[in-house]
Amino acid sequence: MIRFTKSARVLAAVAATGLMLSACGSSDSGGGSGSDGGSSDGSASSALCGKNLAFMGALTGDAGALGQNMVGGIELALQQYNDKNPDCQVNLKKFDSQGSPDTAPGLATQIVNDDSIFGLIGPGFSGESLATGKTFFEAGLPSISPSATNVTITQQGWTTWHRVIGNDDAQGKADAAYLTGDGGATKVFVIDDGQDYSKGLAGTVKDALGDALADSDQISVGQTDMSAAVTKVKASGADAVFYGGYYTEAGLLAKALRQGGFTGLFMSGDGSEDPNFVKVAGADAAEGAVLSAPAGPPPADFGASGLYATQSYDATNIFLAALDDGASTPEEINTFIGSYTGDGVSGPIAFDENGDIKESKIYAYFVKDGKLDVDNPQAIS
Amino acid sequence: MDLGALFGSFDSFLSFTIGGLVFGAIYALIALGYTMVYGVLQLINFAHSEVFMYGTFAVAWVFVFLHGTGSATWDLKQAAPTLLVALVAAMAMSAAIALLLERVAYRPLIKKNAPKLIILISAIGASFALSEAMGLRDRFAGWFGVDNKLANYVTPAKARDVYTNPVTIEPHGLFDIGGYTVTDVDLTIIVAALAMMIVLDQLVRRTRFGRGIRSVAQDPESAALMGVNATRVVQITFLIGGLAAGVAATLYMMKIGATKQSAGFLLGVKAFTAAVMGGIGNLRGALLGGLTLGVMENWGAAVFGNEWRDVVSFVLLVLILLVRPSGILGESLGKARA
């Protein structure tokens, strides 16, 4: 029913002004100065100069803010590159999937049919990655995702698909170890929002917890009434809650849990590691919450902000490094990415044969004194 | 049947039920807007969810204006004066958006005798435009060069991101029913929603305005012949729906405290469902439908798991419509007796 209504509204929007408005919403963002991550000496003259990188992810819709963070990181890297290489300009084409696996395949076809695009930064989310991976692989278009962490994506044999972020398996195991170790929990209640990313992460946590798992439940994206979940958590006698999902629902859940009298530990993953988590939950309810992420804090002078901005910046710089290296075809770029080793602002980067990042450290961030303390995370893997 | 076994414990059952009633009350207030417009125009006002969403922003803006952006936790008594100001602002905002909607998306088409489907599409388009306009409010402010001055209102982080009330309203337990503690916030929401519904119900049944609304709902042409200004009646209908949505927005922000430009969608779908469940076009049906839907959702979540909550409520909707195609209470706005 909800699905039907949604698609009916999407259809109607084509005839309505909404579309025009969202179109102008996805122009300029990000920019500004920042740390020097460019790898160019100003002498690039690749055949790919003047061509485009593509970004596919959510720019509008519920998760639009995350995509805007990514574009901020990408545009920062491109701006630094273009400033240094006046005779080799690389531009960005943005494709707004709204994070939906239903919308993404159409955009993927558009992207692979566009000859001016030599690489993709994205897809943003795990669901859309699984829905489009085959298209990009068959077209031979190399891609680096800054944020899609579902474990199964890199098990499909898509040799053009890479990610600069640790997958959910590594994070989930580290989270479970933290919950029962430093977190001191004996019974953990696990909740997710049913999306590919969230189910993957929550599933790994559940498996790794073993006997310490009290019970589990699922909420849905956009849900604001958490009273049923809170009742279940309290009835289970759990002393900790792990949530797999994004910061809006995580914040609402943390708030409802505290107001419902739950006093145990609240932990969530990288989807919730955002200052907005504290805003939504309120400073009191968020206090003491632990949010893990497969990335260290960005450098102090980094010129883009928000979750996944650093990873997007790094992914862009890998493509630009391929350009400087003289790569001129998608195959050459893909080979370059496969053998790339370097230090990005999000950490050391190198890929294994599946396209997963080789070394990924998981950090736990804490909410302290009413703020998400992004500068002092604890390494938990 | 042993409720305790089904819901874990009897205390849990009470907790699920009361939690459902609180949200059901909010559904009911939004459902009112759908049902009023349907009663008069036989049209679903798909943009009504946005009328509600603008109200939630008005509440948050009032708190930011009076309190600033720093995070704080207040109890209900401390927040009450600000909440009253926010209530007035939210009602004004929602009513203004509802009237704008009527003026721009409805009246020109109704005047031209456009087919119902066209008006429906116009409403859906208006819904998108309103929602995206809120998501782009930083750009609009930028056009007028006031984006820095209004930064606290338009760009908390990014305009499309979640926008929060800086003041968290901390509920306090009032009394216990079984093992469940009813809080002041929960009680306020249920009582305020009921009071609003009773006032509106009486308004439609007893006043001159109400008689006008009912007459247009029954037979617009005869009503016009009897000297009822149909355009004005439609306007008042939208106004009342908007006011109710403003109250719903205030209660929602009291409980949830966060909103975004897409916040209206899910609640709109739920409220529309509640309206259909209770009998669309029927004010008392909206209340009954809202409360039923809220409670059924939580019971479904309790017995089958949270991921089944929507399945349970929509199966219930289908069952009700199979037995009573016009909803639980069925009768339309026009047939309500004075």
**Cβ of A276 and B266 within 8 Å?**
no
pLDDT (0 to 100) of residue B150 = 84
Rounded Cα distance between A131 and B197, Å, is 46
Helix (H, G, I), strand (E, B) or coil at A216: strand
Torsion of CA A124, B270, B131, B105, to 10 degrees: 140
Question: Which chain B residues have a beta carbon less than 8 Å from that of A5?
Answer: 269
**Cβ of B269 and A194 within 8 Å?**
no
Please check whether residue B126 touches A, CB under 8 A: yes
Question: Which chain B residues have a beta carbon less than 8 Å from that of A227?
Answer: 15-16, 19-20, 22-23, 298
Question: Which chain A residues have a beta carbon less than 8 Å from that of B170?
Answer: 259, 284
Helix (H, G, I), strand (E, B) or coil at B77: helix
User: Strands, E, within A122-264: which ranges?
Assistant: 143-145, 161-163, 188-192, 213-218, 240-244
Q: Which long-range contacts (CB under 8 A, 24 or more apart) does A179-185 make?
A: A179/A205, A179/A209, A179/A212, A179/A240, A179/A242, A179/A265, A179/A267, A180/A209, A180/A212, A182/A378, A182/A380, A183/A240, A183/A265, A183/A267, A183/A290, A184/A265, A185/A212, A185/A238, A185/A239, A185/A240, A185/A264, A185/A265
Rounded Cα distance between A5 and A3, Å, is 6
The pLDDT-based confidence of B158 (bands split at 50, 70, 90) is low
Which of A304-313, B45-54, B141-150, B302-311 shows the highest mean pLDDT?
A: B45-54
Q: Please give the CATH number for the structural domain made up of A168-293+362-379.
A: 3.40.50.2300
The pLDDT-based confidence of B156 (bands split at 50, 70, 90) is low
Number of domains into which chain B is organized: 1
Question: Which chain B residues have a beta carbon less than 8 Å from that of A15?
Answer: 121, 125
Rounded Cα distance between B212 and B219, Å, is 11
Q: Which residue type occupies B125?
A: G
What average pLDDT does the structure give for chain B?
Answer: 88
**For strand A213-218 and strand B163-164, is the pairing parallel, antiparallel, or unpaired?**
unpaired
Optimal mutation site among A225, A236, A255, A305, interface B, most CBs of chain B within 10 A: A225
Partner residue facing A61 (CB), from B183, B262, B307: B262
pLDDT (0 to 100) of residue B135 = 86
Q: Is pLDDT at B18 greater than 70 in this prediction?
A: yes
Strand order of the sheet with strand A161-163? A91-96, A52-57, A117-121, A143-145, A161-163
Question: Which chain A residues have a beta carbon less than 8 Å from that of B79?
Answer: none
**Cβ of B125 and A16 within 8 Å?**
yes
- What mean pLDDT is predicted for residues B58-80? 90
**What spatial distance separates the first Cα and last Cα of chain B, rounded to whole Å?**
41
Query: A282-296, B6-20, B85-99, B178-192: which range is least confident on average?
Result: B6-20
Answer whether the bond into residue B325 is a cis peptide, omega within 30°. no
**Cβ of B157 and A18 within 8 Å?**
no
Q: Which residue has the tokens 């009633």?
A: B21
**The domain containing residue B254 runs over which residues?**
3-335
Rounded Cα distance between B127 and B33, Å, is 14
Nearest CA in chain B to A282: B168
What b/e string do you get for B88-97 counting C-beta neighbours within 10 Å, with b at 16 or more? ebbbebbbbb
**Cβ of B129 and A223 within 8 Å?**
no
CATH at B139: 1.10.3470
Please check whether residue B20 touches A, CB under 8 A: yes
Tokens of A3: 């699905």
Question: Which chain A residues have a beta carbon less than 8 Å from that of B301?
Answer: 228-229
pLDDT (0 to 100) of residue A143 = 96
Q: Is pLDDT at B5 greater than 70 in this prediction?
A: no
Q: Is pLDDT at B72 greater than 90 in this prediction?
A: no
- Say if CB A273 and CB A307 are below 8 A apart: yes
* Dihedral sign, Cα of residue A19, residue A15, residue A13, residue B261: positive
Tokens of B188: 């306020």
B-facing residues of A in 52-71 (CB < 8 A) are 60-62, 64-65, 68-69
**Cβ of B161 and A220 within 8 Å?**
no
Optimal mutation site among B181, B306, B317, interface A, most CBs of chain A within 10 A: B306
Chain A closest-CA separation from residue B158 CA (Å): 7
**Cβ of A21 and B129 within 8 Å?**
yes
Chain B closest-CA separation from residue A221 CA (Å): 10
Partner residue facing A280 (CB), from B128, B164, B252: B164
Please check whether residue A291 touches B, CB under 8 A: no
Nearest CA in chain A to B167: A282
Which has the higher per-residue pLDDT, A266 or B4?
A266
Please check whether residue A233 touches B, CB under 8 A: no
Q: What are the residue ranges in chain A where pLDDT is below 50?
A: 1-44
Chain A closest-CA separation from residue B338 CA (Å): 36
Q: Where are the domains of chain A?
A: 39-166+304-350, 168-293+362-379
Question: What percent of chain B has pLDDT above 90?
Answer: 49
Q: Please give the CATH number for the structural domain made up of A39-166+304-350.
A: 3.40.50.2300
Please check whether residue A252 touches B, CB under 8 A: yes
Which of A22-31, A54-63, B176-185, B246-255 shows the highest mean pLDDT?
A: B246-255
